[in-house]
Amino acid sequence: MPGELAAQAVSALATVSPEPGAAKPEPLLIADGVNRHFGGLVAVDVTHVEIQKGAITALIGPNGAGKSTFFNVLSGFDKADAGTWSFAGVTITNTAPHRLARKGMVRTFQLTKSLSRLTVMDNMLLGAGGQTGESMVASVFPFTWKAQEKKNRERAMVLLERFNLAAKAQDFAGSLSGGQRKLLEMARALMLQPELVMLDEPMAGVNPALKQSLLDHIRDIREEGTTVVFVEHDMDMVRDVSDWVIVMAQGKIIAEGTPDTVMRDQRVIDAYLGAHHDQQLTASGDSLTEGTSS
Amino acid sequence: MDMGFVLTQAISQAIGVTAIIYLLATMGLNIQFGYTGLLNFGQIAFVAVGSYAIGVFMVQWQGSAFVPNLWVAIIYALLLSVVLALILGVPTLRLRADYLAIVTIAAGEIIRLVFKSTDALGGAQGINGKMGEEFYAINPFPQQDRFDFGPLSYTRNDVWVVTVGWVVIALLLLLTWALMRSPWGRVLKGIREDEDAVRSLGKSTYLRKMQALILGGIFGTIGGIFWAVAKQSVQPDSFVPAFTFFCYTILILGGAARVMGPVIGALIFWFLLVFIEQFLLLLIDNGTITFLEPTQVGPIRFILVGVGLMLLMIFRPQGILGDKKELALDAR
């Protein structure tokens, strides 16, 4: 059952024209002229893109389309060769990742980065922002951070309950299964109370049962008013959960729209399956060499 | 010579000045490597800076207005340690972990060779002279030649040095414990596990790595200060890379990322080293072993300690205080 905020997001996007670089009614993240190349290879070349606030936006595209690179650039883990981008009206071009996280923009990774030899609870506590006790001087005076720590602990416990990890709170994160690590990473990101969550392939290597629960969690995140952007290969997930889909191919954004529009878009089908996917390789009875050379 | 003498020697070395110096340096490594994952292979550089600062300030610059007494010299030594950490850390801590390892191991050798080849810093002869008069002057132990604790016997100066050494160690252990149970310590451990994850959660890892490098370096420098004051002599060739590797041995033996790990490691390492040496000498002395010369005992004890460490790595890779479950977890 879609909640109120979900309905709002859908209705807000209904009027947006399904064109690459379309303007959104309430953009949270705006990127202009972002370019990243490795030698002669242009990995990312995005002219203009806007991410709607309060919606779930999927970033899809075939392998090597530049999705992850674009993601890394936006989240400060890679430097762009050109371009500007802003978050909630503030320019954040080439800003260091830890500063972005403090501004309310937090990401997860394709290969989960659970901190193995820390307990699940410590992983969660590490996510909490603005901790006094993280200053070296204050850390030796527990009275300066004990109260804050207690509050963070309570908040972490609530999140762990929600993500079904409460029983594991005192276990090492390294002892969790792959799917549980995905959950932990998502829960840990929420400890920062971010405005924007960027998930890099949240479904990679997750079993179908857990997929459903991850999808529910992503919807819940939006229900709390948090904007979600994710990179994904899993088309079922994209169709299921996203309000808006941005398609990249060869570093460029080639299409945008609601999931249904995008799936029917000829440019998208061409990008994924090749422009000649519905043509026979060998024209009726002709030789093989002639067919492939066309 | 008998078994009692062998044991007495081993125990007195295990808690003696040399063990204290190694222990201080290892406690610094524990913060850098054990908790933060920084591969500092040049801890000896920090020790050398501590020793040489005392040596140069107290002997070469004797009577200079810049260094009125030992206590000021100690403060300068600690400041120099911070400067060294900044020089090593600023260019390398933004890079991958292995760069710090390369830079630190080179820095240790550069510092040793600079001291060895600069006459103003003692040159190849090193510095000999009174380096700790103020320290020995405040010795509160009563005036008598020897102090006996059971079979252990110390001079008045030695008993003061060893007492202060262990008090300083206890205080620094307390500091380490307080730091590592705090949120700051949690960030360090996070950096050890995965730096990018910590950065993505809004923490400046560069700042924390720098703090850990400085703090661990200061521990090493305190060891170096102690060295100069206790031995009243600073020789360039004492500051060889092997020192750092012994520290790593001690750390891994005791258990990395455990507050008490370096203590257990240092006690056992020095006890074994001296015990093996003295025991072999005893056996040679009373004719049980005829195929060894007393001069061969020095190298052989390291061979035996090496074998012991290999056995430890095979049967208890997590060290004495470590948790095997923790070690079994994959790093990512």
Furthest-apart CA pair in chain A: how many Å?
84
Query: Which pLDDT value is given to residue B229?
Result: 95
Q: Closest to A116 (Cβ–Cβ): which among B178, B193, B202?
A: B193
Q: Closest to B179 (Cβ–Cβ): which among A108, A114, A140?
A: A140
Query: Which pLDDT value is given to residue B71?
Result: 95
Residue among A74, A92, A102, A115 with most chain B CBs within 10 A, to mutate:
A115
Query: Which pLDDT value is given to residue B111?
Result: 95
Residue A118 to residue B187, Cβ atoms within 8 A = no
* Least confident stretch, B158-167, B295-304, B305-314: B305-314
**Does residue B271 register a pLDDT over 60?**
yes
| Mean pLDDT along residues B23-43 | 96
Residue A213 in contact with residue A244, Cβ under 8 Å? no
Q: What is the mean pLDDT of chain B?
A: 92
What would the pLDDT profile of A81-108 be if each residue is shown by its tens digit? 999 999 998 999 989 999 999 999 999 9
Which residues in chain B touch residue A135, judged by CB atoms under 8 angstroms apart? Answer: 184
**Does residue A258 register a pLDDT over 80?**
yes
Residue B196 to residue A113, Cβ atoms within 8 A = yes
Mapped onto helix, strand or coil, the DSSP state of residue B233 is strand
Residue B201 to residue A101, Cβ atoms within 8 A = yes
**Helices of type H across chain B:** 3-14, 17-29, 43-55, 70-92, 97-117, 133-137, 156-180, 183-193, 195-200, 205-231, 241-254, 261-285, 297-315, 324-328
**Does residue A278 register a pLDDT over 80?**
no
Q: Closest to B186 (Cβ–Cβ): which among A111, A125, A132?
A: A125
The answer, for A107 touching chain B at a CB cutoff of 8 Å, is: yes
How many other C-beta atoms are found inside a 10 Å radius of the C-beta of residue B309?
A: 15
The answer, for B293 touching chain A at a CB cutoff of 8 Å, is: no
Query: Which pLDDT value is given to residue A12?
Result: 80
Six token digits for residue B324: 């095997």
Confidence tier at A275 by pLDDT (50, 70, 90): low
How many other C-beta atoms are found inside a 10 Å radius of the C-beta of residue A209?
A: 9
**Does residue A285 register a pLDDT over 70?**
no
Q: Closest to A172 (Cβ–Cβ): which among B178, B185, B329?
A: B329
**Does residue A289 register a pLDDT over 60?**
no
Q: Which of residues 37-76 of A touch B (CB under 8 A)?
A: 75
Six token digits for residue A144: 């300066």
Which residues in chain A touch residue B204, judged by CB atoms under 8 angstroms apart? Answer: 96, 98
pTM attached to this predicted model: 0.91
Size of interface A-B (CB pairs under 8 A): 115
Distance separating alpha carbons of residues B289 and B147, to the nearest angstrom: 35
Pairing of strands B233-234, B127-128: antiparallel
The answer, for A174 touching chain B at a CB cutoff of 8 Å, is: yes
Residue B183 to residue A192, Cβ atoms within 8 A = no
**Does residue B217 register a pLDDT over 60?**
yes
Mapped onto helix, strand or coil, the DSSP state of residue A152 is helix
What would the pLDDT profile of A73-83 be if each residue is shown by its tens digit? 999 999 999 99
Query: Which pLDDT value is given to residue A3?
Result: 67
Query: Which pLDDT value is given to residue B331?
Result: 45
The answer, for A125 touching chain B at a CB cutoff of 8 Å, is: yes
**Does residue A291 register a pLDDT over 60?**
no
Confidence tier at A29 by pLDDT (50, 70, 90): very high
Q: Closest to B186 (Cβ–Cβ): which among A102, A126, A192?
A: A126
**Does residue A290 register a pLDDT over 60?**
no
What would the pLDDT profile of A116-168 be if each residue is shown by its tens digit? 999 999 999 999 998 999 999 999 999 999 999 999 999 999 999 999 999 99
Dihedral of CA atoms B66, B68, B69, B74 in degrees, nearest 10, equals: -20
Residue B45 in contact with residue B84, Cβ under 8 Å? yes
The answer, for A102 touching chain B at a CB cutoff of 8 Å, is: yes
What would the pLDDT profile of A49-75 be if each residue is shown by its tens digit? 999 999 999 999 888 889 999 999 999
How many other C-beta atoms are found inside a 10 Å radius of the C-beta of residue A59?
A: 28
Query: Which pLDDT value is given to residue A281?
Result: 65
Query: Which pLDDT value is given to residue A184?
Result: 94
| A56 beta partners | A228
Furthest-apart CA pair in chain B: how many Å?
67
Q: Closest to A118 (Cβ–Cβ): which among B190, B199, B208?
A: B190
**Angle, helices B17-29/B205-231, rounded to nearest 10 degrees:** 170
